[in-house]
Amino acid sequence: MAPYDRETLLQKARDIAKNAWAPHSRFRVGAIVVADGRLFHGVNVENSSYGLSLCAERSALAAALAAGAQDITDLAVSCIDADESAGAGPRVPCGACRQWLADVAPNVVILVDGLDRVFRLSDMLPIPFSLG
């Protein structure tokens, strides 16, 4: 995670979440990916056809990949509109994002705002789909 500490990454995720396009759910999410020592930002972008919406995690991953990043090491996620009493469910990456991570960043460290635990992808997706 060096040179970025946990709180720095989570604060950056909180800050970028304010740019999310969430007119339907009003549930803004920000994500920061650390790849090759650089930071890449993503926000959720909703569509009236929910299946066409883009999660913040995939948005940040796509930005990193588009920039030619090779080594994705960390992901920080913040759902700034999550109820403070909510558990992990509404805060952690969805199944589609977990599969993206399995494909492009299987060894990623995942930080989730509001949860003290540091996650590995294997904690969230113990048996990922694979063509290999």
Residue 84: its pLDDT value, please? Answer: 85
| 73 touches 65 (CB < 8 A) | no
List pLDDT tens digits, range 22-48: 999 999 999 999 999 999 999 999 999
Domains and CATH numbers, the chain: 6-124 (3.40.140.10)
CA 67, 62, 10 angle in degrees (round to 5)?
Answer: 95
Under the banding of pLDDT at 50, 70 and 90, the label for residue 2 is low
> Which residues does the annotation mark as catalytic?
57
Q: How are beta strands 118-120 and 72-79 bridged, if at all?
A: unpaired
* pLDDT tens digits along 53-95: 999 999 999 999 999 999 999 999 999 999 988 889 999 999 9
- DSSP state for residue 115 in the 8-state scheme: -
